Amino acid sequence: MSASKRDRYKKNGGRKKRSKKSSGVNNEYRDRLFKFIFGNPNHKEWTLSLYNAVNGSCYTDENDIEINTIGDAVYMKMKNDVSFLIDNTLNLYEQQSTYNPNMPLRFLIYSGMLYDKYARSHDLHLYGPRLQPIPVPRCVCFYNGKTEKEDRGILKFTDGFPSGAESDIEVIVTVININYGHNMELLESCGPLNAYSWFVNGVVEKQTRDGIPLSRAIDETLNEMPDGFVIKQFLLDNKAEVKRMCITEYDEKRVLAQQLEDGIEIGREEGIGIGREEGIGIGREEGIGIGREEGRIGEKIATAKKLFKKGWTIEEIAEFEDVDVVDVKIWLNESAD
């Protein structure tokens, strides 16, 4: 990569800046399909169905649900997927396509923000002499990643502490595997969750097994979805949004992991070379920075070429890689040369 191209990518964080108008995607906030379904205030019956399935309850009035999902925590750049109040419980639901043992810490942060929101909206007197009533937190992580995991597991905040350390704070997160084929009793007791799991599994299989581009994989999976699935018409009516939000496994996690690995290796090599000439400190810092960036860009280029050979359009590749269409064209032209 030339110095000028390297400088251009460093300046723009590894890609050209794009306007929202040209990309058609709001880069500041990409919603999740899980939240689109289960955090939707227009379909609280689906949220209630999920709650009943998880807790073995039988609530019937969807109006008992008060959705209070964190919508905009810009200062921390963190948002939770779905949270709601019902029967004096504060329920925090997260969907994860990558297994994350740090979820208890994230739930602790989310719950603090939600309790602050609750205290303000309910005018709680936190400095008064009377004990203020607050809802009981329930933290659930719905996992549908590629790494094989048990049907149900527990993560604890204190797991991250030094061995033997005692804590005055504990957070317990229940992890539920919702990959299709796991926890079938749970899935069958919640129609929307069963359909969501089936849909995600279908899209992922078409991409990984058949090499079908994301957009077409979504179309085909929707067409094949049984008519009896409660969310089918909703997904069809919002197909454009579903395509924008749908986060599938494909090789995205592999690509990200490879980018990091390659970037660190290149950064180490270049850091040593520059360090010998200009000083170990400067060389290591600048070399690792440039190396990581070039590693990410190099992996994106390699992935773009592979997807193009599999029949993906330039627009689909640009959407998947989160880059400009122009960048993809340049990468493919350089490959042809």
Three-class SS state of 140: strand
Three-class SS state of 271: helix
What pLDDT does residue 156 have?
97
What is the number of domains present in the chain?
Answer: 2
What pLDDT does residue 9 have?
40
Three-class SS state of 67: strand
My answer on whether 183 and 262 are in the same domain is no
Three-class SS state of 107: helix
Dist. CA 135–CA 125, nearest whole Å: 15
Q: Is residue 6 part of a domain?
A: no
DSSP readout, 73-93? -TTTT---SEEEEETTEEEEE
My answer on whether 266 and 218 are in the same domain is no
My answer on whether 173 and 33 are in the same domain is yes
Where in the sequence is the domain holding 182, given as residue range(s)? 28-245
My answer on whether 156 and 79 are in the same domain is yes
Q: Is residue 4 part of a domain?
A: no
What pLDDT does residue 330 have?
81
My answer on whether 69 and 191 are in the same domain is yes
My answer on whether 88 and 227 are in the same domain is yes
Kindly report the number of other CB atoms within 10 A of residue 7's CB atom. 11
Domain C-terminal end among 212, 245, 278: 245
Per-residue pLDDT of the chain (337 residues; tens, 9 = 90+): 444 444 544 444 444 444 333 333 332 223 589 999 999 999 999 999 999 999 999 999 999 999 998 865 444 445 678 999 999 999 999 999 889 999 999 999 999 999 999 999 999 999 999 999 999 999 999 999 988 999 999 999 999 999 989 999 999 999 999 999 999 999 999 999 999 999 999 998 998 888 888 889 999 999 999 999 999 999 999 998 888 887 544 444 445 555 556 555 655 666 555 555 555 555 456 555 666 666 777 888 888 888 888 888 888 888 788 787 778 888 888 665 5
What pLDDT does residue 161 have?
95
CB 99 within 8 A of CB 145: yes
My answer on whether 125 and 159 are in the same domain is yes
Q: 97-107 burial by CB neighbour count: b if 16+ within 10 A, else e?
A: bebbeebbbbb
Q: Is residue 3 part of a domain?
A: no
pTM of the model: 0.67
My answer on whether 194 and 274 are in the same domain is no
Q: What would the two tokens of residue 144 be?
A: 């549908």
Q: What would the two tokens of residue 277 be?
A: 């000439």
Domain C-terminal end among 245, 277, 312: 245
What pLDDT does residue 26 have?
31
In this structure, what DSSP letter does residue 131 have?
P
Handedness of CA 117, 123, 126, 131 (dihedral sign): negative
Dist. CA 284–CA 275, nearest whole Å: 6
Domain C-terminal end among 245, 260, 285: 245
Q: Is residue 164 part of a domain?
A: yes
